[in-house]
Structure 1
Amino acid sequence: MDRLSAMATFVRAVDTGSLSAAARSLPSSLTSVSRQISALEEHFGTRLLLRTTRQLALTDDGRVLYERAKAILGEVKEIEAALSRDRHQPSGRIRVSSPSLMGRLVIAPLLAEFLRRHPALSVDLLLVDRAVDMVEEDIHLAIRVGRLRDSQLVARKLADLRMIVCASPAYVAARGVPATPGDLAHHDCLVFSDAPGSAEWRFADDGKTGRKIRISGRLWMNSLEALAAAAKEGAGIVRVPSWQAEADLAAGRLVRLLTGYEPAPTPLHLIFQPSRLASPKIRAFTDYLVERWRGIDPFTARPPANE
């Protein structure tokens, strides 16, 4: 059995919804399609498909094989493209994931120039505030905030992300300025989280970054953009990326607080699977993003020198 060919047939059968439809699209005979899938089931020692008169249904093992096989077949195409004669001409579609706010305000404006440079490329930008499963969700590149766990993924550092605490001048005038992170317990804090409840804000302590303060805010949202808008209206103290607040700080709509306790910046990476390292389109997008990111100053914004 040609295992790669059998997996391709299996994926086609699932995508088309029936063995006969897979046979027509390949093209191949219905007998050949059925034989290849049966051979896969025998090889793995498990049932992959539940066949009915109208449709196919994946078993749990079948779903695992489908997701992995689809990723493997995609990687094979990447290798073929990298070794082809026109490997210096990137083509195809790139699937990229990014945190929502960063994707809208930073990544999306950079894509027009990238597409002009590479007319044979297309981009799918997925905006999600969670860590995606790059294999199961067929993501080629992901922008990841924070220190990376040990993994087999390849990472290119883009910038350092600095989190800052700020509030509106009206709030500060009414409630005062917190002198230390501990004073936040006596203030109205605006909490960003995937689920309502308390959160932890990290601060520097004697030059270290290990001090965490538990925050129980009166207002919770799962959108940093909405929280920043509420902060500008005087709802309370918010913790946001420095690049997001730069314009509001410059215009005086927000005031930067607790600058002496700001922790070290968090790294921002672009990650992808090692198997895609040779892919022309992955190299093109990675190099472009690293090049353009160098000009985005707010990502390295430091506390004011006089504070």
Structure 2
Amino acid sequence: MDQLEAMATFVQVVDAGSLSAAARALPSSLTSVSRQITALEQHFGTRLLVRTTRQLALTEEGRILYERARSILGDVREIEEALAGTRGEPSGRLRVSAPSLMGRLLISPLLGNFLCRYPSLSVELLLVDRRVELVEEDVHLALRVGRLPDSQLVTRKLAEVQMIHCASPDYLARCGTPQAPSDLLQHDCLVFSDTPGVALWRFGRDAKTASRVRISGRLWVNSLDALVTAARNGAGIVRVPSWQVDAELAEGRLCRVLREYEPAAAPLHALYEPSRRGSAKIRAFVDFLVEHWRKNRPFDSAECE
């Protein structure tokens, strides 16, 4: 048994949902696929899949093998691509995750130029507002905003993101302008979250001035775009990245409040597994973002300095 090939077949079976679908995708014969799965189970001495007439389910041992096999196969691809990268241009598939709004507004518009520059590369962009598990989700590179916990991941700082608070002139004329964070308890706040309840908005740039205000909120949305639209229409005070509302501030559709209480800017990092340190495609993508953002400076416009 070629163990690496058998693991690749096993991963394909799990991803496809059936032996026959995996056989079509590989392509291979159903008999060959079934034989490789049986050989793996015999090799490890345990059942990996529970097969019914309608679906396949992983056993606990199968889940462990699936996660590790994906990681091993990814490492093998990285080795192949890193060696190929020493001989020519970056190539292969690059799977990137990024916060949804940032990905849509600041990354997606750049991909056309990136793909033209590197015609042997393909990109999968995953836009999610949650922490992505790189190995388990087969993500090569993640962009993440905020302080990072200690980990073995390789990191590169790309920029800093400043969170600000703003509201429409109509709302401020109607309800007044907050002079301190505690004043927000008397205002209509618009909160970014999947789960309504109580949010904590942090203020202050250092330990001496740091404070937190519990925001009950009148509107909860898991889309910053929707919150900015609501704020522009007079619904209340919103907390957003400065770069998102640069045009609204410049045109007077939104007004910045509590400026002197804003928290310190949060770093934006690119993260990837140490095993991908030599990846030409990751280096190419990160360098491309840095090149573009240094030139166009989307995170530090004059309005938000």
The alignment's TM-score, normalised by the length of structure 1, stands at 0.88
The answer as to whether partners of 1:191 and 1:198 remain within 8 angstroms in 2 is no
Cα deviation, residue 22, structure 1: 4.6
- Inter-partner Cα distance in structure 1 for 2:205 and 2:19: 62
Deviation of 1:93 after TM superposition, in Å, equals 1.7
| Distance change >3 Å, CA 257–CA 97, structure 1 → 2 | same
**Hey, what does 2:194 align to over in structure 1?**
194
1:300 aligns with 2:285: no
- Structure 1 CA distance, aligned partners of 2:226 and 2:30? 56
d(CA) in 1 for partners of 2:149, 2:292: 26
The answer to whether structure 1 residue 275 and structure 2 residue 275 are counterparts is: yes
CA contact (8 A) 2:205 2:264 kept: no
d(CA) in 1 for partners of 2:248 and 2:53?
62
The superposition leaves residues 139-185 of structure 1 with CA deviations (integer Å, 9 ceiling, x where unpaired) of 11111111111122111111100000111111111111111101111
Residue pairs, 1:62-81, within 5 angstroms: 62-81=62-81
Partner of 2:99: 99
Structure 1 position 62, deviation (Å): 0.9
CA apart distance, 1:53: 6.6
Stretch moving more, 160-169 or 207-216: 207-216
Secondary structure, aligned partner of 2:295: coil
Superposition deviation, residue 206 in structure 1: 6.9
Structure 1 unaligned segments of length 5 or more: list them.
none
Secondary structure in structure 1 of the residue aligned to 2:151: coil
Match of 2:128 in 1: 128
Is 1:289 the counterpart of 2:292? The answer is no
3-state secondary structure, aligned to 1:214: strand
CA distance in 1, matches of 2:216, 2:184: 9
Equivalence for 2:148: 148
Q: Distance in 2 between matches of 1:166 and 1:20?
A: 52
Residue 18 (1) aligns with residue 13 (2) = no
Q: Secondary structure at the match of 2:88?
A: coil
Change (3 A) 1:250 1:207: farther
Matches within 5 A, 1:1-307: 3-15=3-15, 17-18=18-19, 22=23, 25=26, 30=31, 34=35, 37-51=37-51, 56-84=56-84, 87-204=87-204, 208=208, 210-301=210-301
Cα distance in 1 for partners of 2:251, 2:45 equals: 66
With 40-49 and 252-261 compared, the bigger mean Cα shift is at: 40-49
Say which SS state the counterpart of residue 264 (structure 1) adopts: coil
Aligned pair in 2 of structure 1 residues 23, 201: CA closer, same or farther (>3 Å)?
closer
Please say if residues 95 and 141 of structure 2, whose CA atoms lie closer than 8 Å, have aligned partners that are also in contact. Answer: yes
Please tell me the residue identity of whatever aligns with 1:239: R
In structure 1, distance between residues paired with 2:13 and 2:296 = 46
Letter in 2 for 1:119: P
How far 1:243 sits from its partner (Å)?
Answer: 0.3
After superposition, the Cα gap between the structure-2 partners of 1:175 and 1:69, relative to the gap in structure 1 and judged at 3 Å, is same
Give the 3 Å change call, closer, same or farther, for CA 199–21 of structure 1 in structure 2. Answer: closer
What percentage of residue pairs aligned between the two structures are identical?
A: 63
C-alpha contact 2:246 2:303 (8 A) present in aligned 1: no
Is the alpha carbon distance of 1:275 and 1:209 closer, same or farther for their aligned partners in structure 2, counting shifts above 3 Å? farther
What code does the residue aligned with 1:18 have? L
CA contact (8 A) 2:161 2:267 kept: yes
Secondary structure in 2 aligned to 1:300?
coil
The answer (yes or no) to whether the contact 2:23–2:33 under 8 Å persists in 1 is: no
CA contact (8 A) 1:103 1:127 kept: yes
Measure the CA separation in 2 of the matches of 1:146 and 1:157: 11
Does the CA contact (< 8 Å) of 2:246 and 2:304 recur in 1?
A: no
CA contact (8 A) 1:165 1:257 kept: yes
Q: Deviations over 1:120-153 (max 9, x none)?
A: 1111111111111211221111111111111221
Q: How much does 1:297 deviate?
A: 2.8
Offset at 1:61?
2.1
* One-letter amino acid matched to 2:139: I
Aligned residue for 2:299, secondary structure, equals: helix
Deviations 1:40-99 (A, max 9, x none): 435544311234577654223213312321231122012012223764311112111111
Shift of 1:20: 11
C-alpha separation in 2, matches of 1:74 and 1:4: 12
Question: What is the DSSP-based 3-state SS (H/G/I as helix, E as strand, rest coil) of the residue aligned with 2:94?
Answer: strand
